[in-house]
């Protein structure tokens, strides 16, 4: 029983960390595309499903505790086992949803990385064109400058 509680607590801590990191990524405004919005919607749906499963898990935990506190009869033992089976199935569903949620986060991060790479490439091209222009201006000789200007005062 203590091992199950530790497992549930560990799952809850992992879920909390995942949900908190999801909030940090959801707050970034750069690179919003239709696919990112779709991913955010899917993430929110997964979070709602996880919350519903957590509520059901708590319900089954309470039922298990109630049956354990009653007189140990064969019916109670069967009920306890049925509730444990239901809880185990919910644990599996919860883990599958967490995996789906993490996969969505990974896809979202991939899109963020692609957007950043594209922005970096654009900035590199812009910087290269500026350097070419500066270099071209620096290569103009004094004689060319004198010939290009109408008077010595403009020089």
Structure tokens at 79: 């009920």
As a whole number of angstroms, the distance between CA 7 and CA 11 comes to 6
CA of 34: how far to CAs of 37, 48, 53, 108, in Å? 5, 21, 29, 11
* pLDDT averaged per 10 residues in sequence order, the chain, 155 residues: 61 62 50 82 90 90 80 77 94 95 95 96 94 80 69 61
When the pLDDT of each residue in the chain is averaged and rounded to a whole number, the result is 80
Nearest to 102 by CA among 23, 20, 43: 43
Report the predicted TM-score, pTM, of the whole model to 2 decimal places. Answer: 0.48
Q: What is the pLDDT of residues 49-82, one digit of tens each?
A: 999 999 999 998 888 888 777 666 777 788 889 9
């Amino acid at each position: 029983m203590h091992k199950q509680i530790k497992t549930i607590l560990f799952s809850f801590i992992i879920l909390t960390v995942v949900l908190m990191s999801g909030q940090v990524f959801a707050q970034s405004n750069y690179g919003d595309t239709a696919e990112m919005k779709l991913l955010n919607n899917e993430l929110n749906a997964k979070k709602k499903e996880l919350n519903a499963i957590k509520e059901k898990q708590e319900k089954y935990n309470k039922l298990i505790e109630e049956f354990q506190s009653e007189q140990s009869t064969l019916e109670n033992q069967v009920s306890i086992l049925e509730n444990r089976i239901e809880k185990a199935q919910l644990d599996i569903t919860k883990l599958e949803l967490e995996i789906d949620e993490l996969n969505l986060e990974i896809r979202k991060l991939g899109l963020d990385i692609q957007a950043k790479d594209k922005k970096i490439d654009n900035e590199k091209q812009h910087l290269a064109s500026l350097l070419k222009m500066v270099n071209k201006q620096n290569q103009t000789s004094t004689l060319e400058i004198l010939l290009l200007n109408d008077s010595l005062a403009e020089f």
